[in-house]
Structure 1
Amino acid sequence: MPALVRSILTPAAVFRLVLGWGAVAALALAGPVLAPPVPAPLLVAALVLIVGVILVCAFGVVHEAEHLAHRLGDPYGSLVLTLSIVLIEVVLIAAVMLGPGDHVTIARDSVMAVSMIILNLVIGLCLLVGGIRHGSLRPNRTGTSAFLAMLVVLCSLALALPALVGTDGAYTPGQELPVVVVTLALYAFFLVRQMGAQADDFREVDPRVVARQVARGEVASRTGRPGVVGVIAEHRSELMLRAGLLVATVLPVVLLSHDMAALLDDGLGRLGAPVALSGVLIALIVFLPESITSLRAALAGEGQRVSNLCHGALVSTVGLTIPAVLVIGGLTGQTVVLAESPANLLLLGVTLLLSVTTFATTKVTATHGAAHLVVFAVYGMTLFS
């Protein structure tokens, strides 16, 4: 055990933990100094330091996530990173709702920003770099189709339906409970199928990638290696330590992002930038570890892992965030505005249609990636219009 602990808690891992949590403590102590309005030089210096710490911690998260993914295999390895980040993000949104101030649109703005970032920016970059390097990526069409089917339904329930059946963009109290129940039921059913009977639908099908996985002993059922239950039983201590280290390293990323929001609002307010831009920047930072891991997977030609990480993250974000905020709103009497603007609904519809078209083919190319990046650029343009 001591040797195992030393192999996981390396000096670099300990440094990242100390740096991340030290920065969180320092920001807590410096709260009065950083209260708006902050002098411009101090504001810039604080933001640079926070982003630097977040980047260091993000690479640590990626390191642990890749070890877990290689040990467990997909889809289980990708789920560890996805759920750890998404669950913390949901807790963060809940904390904002329960805090002081009026935050009736926090869930809507967060889900919309994350949707555009993941489906267009991150996936666009992955397909672009993966397509340029390997000619094309070959995801498992059955698995990606399942992800996209979930997203069409969940995004419609979250952002479109309230505009048509709700009041002032919010579900009525009588509508909230059915939406919570069907959303959680669908998400839970999907997870059970993904980790059980349909697990093979979320594994690599590209012969080039499968050959490398077989050589490294990462493929379970198709190479005689024990299934995930056997792997967990055999390596329980290592998996628990790495999962704990991953969560301990990702928490400072989310907490620092939350603290950075006030500084960004202050700085962007002085520049006359739109308020929604702050939410986009925070979402970019929070999902940075997942984005880095996805880009590394694309460079390795792992098309299905890109889908597992990106599409899986968004399915979990919508499937957990919307029920959570509706329950909190119902218990606290807060109005939760979910309906998006017509322009954003159009962009979301185009994004989902483009995603279905992109991943319906056997080979996804750099051209598909470029199309996704253009949609994200248009979304960025609408933020300033």
Structure 2
Amino acid sequence: MIFMGRLAIAWATVVLFFLLGDAWLADPGAGLRAAVLFLWLFVVILWCAFGVVEQADHLANLLGEPLGSLVLTLSIVIIEVVLIAAVALGSEATPTLGRDTMFAVVMIALNAGVGLALLLGGLRHREQAYNLQGAVAYLAVIIPLASIALILPNFTQAVPSGSLTTIQAVFFSLFTLLLYAIFLLIQTRRHQGFFVEAPAEGTARAAAGMHEKRSPSGAALVRHTFLLLVTLLPIVLLSGRLAMLIDHGTAALGAPAALGGVLIAIIVFAPEGITALAAARANQLQRSINLCLGAATSTIGLTVPAILVIGLMTGKTMILGLDPTGMTLLVLTLILSTLTFSGPRTTVLEGAVHLVVFLVYVVLIFSP
């Protein structure tokens, strides 16, 4: 019943903005009207994102791990790419939006998401186990992808600094997609066991996840896939309107340019993050790791090519390289993540350290 109410409100919003949106957004101003329109669209899109996660979670239960977490992660990345494309195509003033959004998702997923999951799980269960091979596989992909996308452009000969030449953009996109495709093959076929709970912990659920083949109902798969698509579509249709308000509000209020990327990152990761925290509290840390590290991996692996393609098709300059402060935080986060996932068990200490790094990132957004 709640899900159908969500769909009704979402599609009613789509119809209203299709009929009246041009008049409403012609001159939204910087006062109450603009705030109401922004909150309306932000809440509806975020609520739809939760609906997408709900349906993806049903598919996850039908398909089992690691395919379940993969479906969930890819659904969220689609939302991210749509929102980034909407803002990037609709504004001349946000060449760093894709970079800011990717960086925000990485910081939220690897520091806020991982930190809270380890903290809440540690407080409840003292120590938690996970599959070390899976975490190492994620980080082995995240580290080069993040470095190539967010650090390397600062040291190329492209002008302006932080961007890429056409040849670099084409080949870096291909390399990124190739590495991500190889990772997906490892995750879903060759080494699925890396991404489920290690059988050494002795749980029947873990062993079943590794060795039993699910036989999901075809009708259930079709139903939940359809519901996922009709929940995702309003996000696509409303993203352009939200992009206009984000762009307008950032300029009118003199807000930090990175704030637009943070708002998109919140929409992108909030449903997935809540699912990850619930899993950690239920002592399912492997699922939390799949969601948090998977979000960072998919964000960079799929968003970088999307941003570069948008830039090539529109002729707009897309700035990917982070500023020195951002590079420092990114390197710190990658080193810290490597240390956190270097042993078989985690405690509240690792969670607290990740949260401190995230809070530093938040402060630097508003006080660089």
Q: Say which of 283, 298, 306 aligns to 1:324.
A: 306
Letter in structure 1 aligned against 2:122: G
| Cα distance change, pair 276–221 in 1 and its aligned pair in 2 (3 A) | closer
| Cα distance change, pair 314–255 in 1 and its aligned pair in 2 (3 A) | farther
Letter in structure 2 aligned against 1:363: R
Looking at structure 1, the residues matched to 119 and 154 of structure 2 have their Cα atoms a distance apart, in angstroms, of: 35
Shift of 1:322: 1.2
Aligned to 1:75: 66
| Cα distance change, pair 287–250 in 1 and its aligned pair in 2 (3 A) | farther
Shift of 1:25: 2.7
Tell whether the 8 Å contact from 1:124 to 1:370 is kept in structure 2 after alignment: yes
Tell whether the 8 Å contact from 2:151 to 2:321 is kept in structure 1 after alignment: yes
Tell whether the 8 Å contact from 1:159 to 1:339 is kept in structure 2 after alignment: yes
| Cα distance change, pair 187–252 in 1 and its aligned pair in 2 (3 A) | same
Say whether residues 1:181 and 2:174 are aligned partners.
Answer: yes
Please report the TM-score for the alignment, with normalisation by the length of structure 2.
Answer: 0.89
User: Percent identity at matched positions?
Assistant: 46
Q: Say which of 256, 260, 276 aligns to 2:258.
A: 276
Looking at structure 2, the residues matched to 123 and 347 of structure 1 have their Cα atoms a distance apart, in angstroms, of: 16
Greater alpha carbon shift after TM alignment, 173-182 vs 302-311: 173-182
Looking at structure 2, the residues matched to 39 and 325 of structure 1 have their Cα atoms a distance apart, in angstroms, of: 29
Say whether residues 1:16 and 2:11 are aligned partners.
Answer: no
| Cα distance change, pair 12–371 in 1 and its aligned pair in 2 (3 A) | same
Aligned to 1:4: none
Q: Where do residues 139-158 of structure 1 align in structure 2 (5 Å cutoff)? A: 139-158=130-149
Q: Say which of 186, 191, 195 aligns to 2:184.
A: 191
Say whether residues 1:302 and 2:293 are aligned partners.
Answer: no
Shift of 1:190: 0.7
> SS at 1:382's partner residue?
helix
Q: Where do residues 206-221 of structure 1 align in structure 2 (5 Å cutoff)? A: 210-211=203-204, 219-221=208-210
Shift of 1:240: 2.3
Structure 1: unaligned runs, 5 residues or longer: 1-10
Tell whether the 8 Å contact from 1:209 to 1:301 is kept in structure 2 after alignment: no
Looking at structure 1, the residues matched to 60 and 11 of structure 2 have their Cα atoms a distance apart, in angstroms, of: 25
Shift of 1:262: 3.7
Greater alpha carbon shift after TM alignment, 354-363 vs 243-252: 243-252
Aligned to 1:111: 102
| Cα distance change, pair 254–136 in 1 and its aligned pair in 2 (3 A) | farther
Q: Say which of 334, 339, 342 aligns to 2:316.
A: 334
Per-residue deviation, residues 90-110 of structure 1 (Å, max 9, x unmatched): 233234444453542222122
Looking at structure 2, the residues matched to 354 and 27 of structure 1 have their Cα atoms a distance apart, in angstroms, of: 44
Looking at structure 2, the residues matched to 152 and 188 of structure 1 have their Cα atoms a distance apart, in angstroms, of: 16
Shift of 1:251: 3.9
| Cα distance change, pair 278–93 in 1 and its aligned pair in 2 (3 A) | closer
Q: Where do residues 342-361 of structure 1 align in structure 2 (5 Å cutoff)? A: 342-361=324-343
